[in-house]
Chain A
Amino acid sequence: TGTQGRIDSFFKIL
């Protein structure tokens, strides 16, 4: 069912 993405790869760390 695919590889699990990570949330911090979608949003920029401030």
Chain B
Amino acid sequence: MFEARLAQSAILKKVLEAVKDLLSEATFECSDSGIMVQAMDNAHVSLVSLNLRSDGFDKFRCDRNLSMGMNITTMTKILRCASSEDTVTLRAWDNPDNIIFIFESPSKEKLAEYEMKLINMDQEHLGIPETMYSCVVKMPSAEFARICKDLSQFGEAITIACSKEGVKFSAAGDYGNANIKLAQTAEVDKEEEAVCIDMQEPVKLTFACRYLNSFVKATPLCAQVKLSMSADVPLVCEYSIGEIGHIRYYLAPKIDD
């Protein structure tokens, strides 16, 4: 059987909110090392890679590897039925047709069970090569979300230019243009407020706002976001998920006509 328990459902609720805009369904690969999801959005522009390690769960049991096709829209609805402080347990039997979500209140006086039908999915797995990126920017996730939101008013794409001076986000459209420059922070009281730039070579890439604005739905998961970029390859936008894992979004850049 498969059983995975988290003491607080908040993490799983945030994970679902972070993927639901991009994915309508996805296969959850469960093994004794944890839960992995890799799925592209419908337009095959972006890819979501989610990894939750078994040792990050309060209880984790997976007797045999399982691939469970889940409807993300339904799963999001179910997770919204849990209070953030509720314990959440995912349970499925071998060769399952269904998965059960069990929410238990901290006082243990309320126990809710939701059963969701699994779906058969065609799987298309992509091999993501290990890449040394020219620029890696770590910055406050709320700042990145704010920049994406603000610049989206000006155009449908954001250009990210990273040099040793700092990182510049810009957008241009019919009504004008905007740019926001961030320099590496010299000294900060709190690590999560730092902007840190690791640059081997300058990079300038352009990305569709629509996808960036979906990625920033992961902001509640982590105070910092890591952006990894190299010329002519997809952006990696990564959020840690506490001590349990991470979510990575890959986004194909715009190509000059």
| A interface residues with partner B (beta carbon < 8 Å) | 1-14
Contacts and interface: CB of A to CB of B under 8 A. Distances in A.
Interface size range on B against A? 20 to 34
B254 A10 contact: no
A12 B208 CA distance: 22
8 smallest CB-CB distances across A and B, nearest first, come from A2-B254, A5-B252, A11-B126, A1-B157, A14-B125, A7-B252, A12-B127, A6-B44
Interface of B: 40, 43-47, 124-129, 155-157, 172, 206, 208, 233-234, 250-257
Contacts of A13: 124-127
Nearest to B157: A1
Nearest to B159: A1
Contact of A7 (B46, B125, B127, B254): B46
A7 B255 contact: no
B126 A5 contact: no
Contacts of A7: 40, 44-47, 126, 234, 250-252
A9 B257 CA distance: 17
Contacts of A14: 125-127
Nearest to A2: B254
A11 B236 CA distance: 13
Contacts of B45: 4-7
Contacts of B155: 1
